[in-house]
Amino acid sequence: MSFDLASRLAERHAAHLYRQRPLLESPQQPEVRVDGERLLNFCSNDYLGLANHPDVIAAMRAGAEQWGVGGGASHLVIGHSTPHHQLEEALAHFTGRPRALLFSTGYMANLAAVTALVGQGDTVLEDRLNHASLLDAGLLSGARFSRYLHNDAGSLAKRLDKASGNTLVVTDGVFSMDGDLAGLPALCSAARAKGAWMMVDDAHGFGPLGATGGGIVQHFGLGIDEVPVLVGTLGKAFGTAGAFVAGSDELIETLIQFARPYIYTTSQPPAVACATLKSLQLLREESWRREHLNRLIARFRQGAAEIGLALMDSPTPIQPVLVGDSARAMRLSALLREGGILVGAIRPPTVPAGSARLRITLTAAHSEAQLERLLQTLAECWSRLAEEPEHA
């Protein structure tokens, strides 16, 4: 018996689904150097432009000088440093919840929360378009796992009627490949009517959404009663790394005691927590970042509509351009790169078959002139693509 890995890779190549890692040779910023080329970057999740902010860099440097580089051990052994604790307290205050718990990655935070809260005899219900980490968490939990129709409170209610044991409803706040918002008011209402808990992974909502960047829960004016389990990542709008879960004291203590991805991993470098404390301060105080970003989003959608591009219903920095065919999505991405614009082509299995797209992301660090250059180049490349045969 042997694993035929070569055939699997060849099949992925043939289906135009092969993935390759671009080599970033500069910091995260609008103009980057990738694989030796200078390009205008429209595929980063650094929504507020904080990943290369001098104050955040200075905070990390000072943190490393004071606290060293490595976390050293798990939080429960000797890896829970003062900066970690301070960041947890700041995130709890930011989200308006009693406590927050820090994780090294968003994937780990989602696995931890779901698998610690439900198991055999319980039910977990998830949106069909949830992030892979949420879907994996549901499958690994051992609970009865079912997916409801995307953003459909009626579909969720039907599944809630069949649920047994403790029931956890899980949704993204902002869907990472479509950019649309979860209809939280209706979803929360359906969950509460059946005594189910709502868990929201707001990885892409914190920062861009809400009056002070508090994300989709703040955007809709909801609280801990409607959303008992709130997850956020720090590697996107916060510009650093890691993730957190925010909720009640009982929730956080439950995760500390029972969440294996938390218990059995080394803590993040304390200097990263120092940097995140600074980025959190900037996120809250510099509202101009959200205001500028919203202006860019509105202008992009206006310009894309004039070009005739197929956009999705997204009010967020994630602005997908629907292409459909994977090969043509790759071709459009390549044409843009020839024009000095870096935008990734997203293909199955990340998105459903037949819905390949360009995932354009805007950041507060982009200028209006850079956005106009994107629109002009998009118009030229879209016209060129239309003139090419379907299977060029």
Active site residues: 176, 204, 236
SS3 per residue for the chain: CCCCHHHHHHHHHHCCCCCCCCCECCCCCCEEEECCEEEEECCCCCCCCCCCCHHHHHHHHHHHHHHCCCCCCEHHHHHCCHHHHHHHHHHHHHHCCCEEEEECCHHHHHHHHHHHHCCCCCEEEEECCCCHHHHHHHHHCCCEEEEECCCCHHHHHHHHHCCCCCEEEEEECECCCCCCECCHHHHHHHHHHCCCEEEEECCCCECCECCCCCHHHHHHCCCCCCCCEEEEECCCCCCCCCEEEEECHHHHHHHHHHCHHHHCCECCCHHHHHHHHHHHHHHHHCCHHHHHHHHHHHHHHHHHHHHCCCECCCCCCEEEEEEECHHHHHHHHHHHHHCCEECCEECCCCCCCCCEEEEEECCCCCCHHHHHHHHHHHHHHHHHHHHCCCCC
Judge contact between 279 and 289, C-beta under 8 A.
no
Cα 63 from chain centre: 26
Tokens standing for 106?
Answer: 């968003």
Residue 111 and residue 362: Cα distance in Å, rounded?
A: 28
Tokens standing for 45?
Answer: 């999740």
Tokens standing for 337?
Answer: 């790169």
